[in-house]
Structure 1
Amino acid sequence: MYSRFLLALTPLLFTHLALAADCDNATDQATMNQCATQQNKAADKELNALYQQITGRLKSDPDRKKLLIGAQRSWIAFRDAECKFSASGVEGGSVYPMIYGNCITELTRARVETFKNYLKCQEGDMGCPVPGQT
């Protein structure tokens, strides 16, 4: 029974360790990999929030919304393939998660900036695919 209790607590222990990572002073590869994952999750969260805002603005234009969904799916496939290629020189090594994660984060942050620009569109801007807020 005691061993079941410890097994139940194990995920909580690792979650606590992941949250406690000091990314500014990381000196070992495991911590650097954790930090890369944390940064990736933060960038992805921001991207998803912006995506939801854009799809909200496109709710009255299902054809354009469908184009956005297709573009986003294609962009994700590109991002993942690009980063797999970018990190291929260290594939199988302990640094791979960090190199791959940093690439994912960098490209996601660039997409975040694109989405932010879409959300700045002014009403009547013919060169912008996202209608301005009314």
Structure 2
Amino acid sequence: MFRFLLAGLFCLVGCFSFGQSQSEMNTEAARVYQKADKELNGVYQKVLADYKKDPAFIKNLKVAQKLWIQFRDAEMKAKYPDREKGYYGSSQPMCWYIYLTQLTQERTKKLKVWLTGIKDGDECSGTVKNHYTKKY
């Protein structure tokens, strides 16, 4: 009975899923990364625009972003050091883009704090605008 249910479950899952080649999955992962990178760049530009009256912040944000890019690239090389072709298998491009997307989304989340602000009364807000008084 259990085997029959298990076989039925596999058939049901197979009916509702569709197959993709590894190449298609690699391409899709690259597309998802491009979307995440575009969002990051948009958020970064909005932060620059919102804080244009604070040149010290802008200068330091630009330095931080440049260093983050260097960190991101080094992190990618640490996870996937250069090896001979095929070392990581055919899924490596997909895995590369998945991790790159994750790092990019984490950075976007950190940058969004400068846009959304923080709660009133946070003494450690630094240059982040106050959510209620829009102080920055």
Length-normalised TM-score, structure 1: 0.70
Who is 1:10 aligned against? none
Q: Any gaps of 5 or more consecutive residues in structure 2?
A: 1-16
Q: Any gaps of 5 or more consecutive residues in structure 1?
A: 1-23
Q: How far apart, in 2, do the equivalents of 1:90 and 1:99 lie?
A: 15
What RMSD, in angstroms, separates the aligned Cα atoms of the two structures? 2.4
Contact residue 83 and residue 104 of structure 1 kept, 8 A: yes
- Shift, 1:119, TM fit: 1.4
Q: Does 1:107 align with 2:100?
A: no
Who is 1:120 aligned against? 116
Which residue among 47, 66, 69 is the counterpart of 1:73?
Answer: 66
Count of equivalent residues: 111
Q: How far apart, in 2, do the equivalents of 1:106 and 1:100 lie?
A: 10
Q: How far apart, in 2, do the equivalents of 1:69 and 1:26 lie?
A: 43
Deviations 1:40-63 (A, max 9, x none): 001011111110111012211111
Alignment of 1:1-134 (within 5 A): 25=18, 27-88=20-81, 92-93=85-86, 94-122=90-118, 126=123, 127-132=125-130, 133=134
Contact residue 84 and residue 100 of structure 1 kept, 8 A: no
Moved more, 110-119 or 24-33: 24-33
Contact residue 43 and residue 108 of structure 1 kept, 8 A: yes
Q: 1:117 to 1:79 in 2, by over 3 A?
A: same
Secondary structure of the 2:53 match is coil
Contact residue 118 and residue 128 of structure 1 kept, 8 A: no
Structure 1 or 2, whichever has the larger Rg, is: 2
Length-normalised TM-score, structure 2: 0.69
> Which structure has more helix as a fraction of its residues?
1
Contact residue 80 and residue 96 of structure 2 kept, 8 A: yes
Q: 1:53 to 1:91 in 2, by over 3 A?
A: farther
- Shift, 1:90, TM fit: 6.9
Q: How far apart, in 2, do the equivalents of 1:30 and 1:103 lie?
A: 17
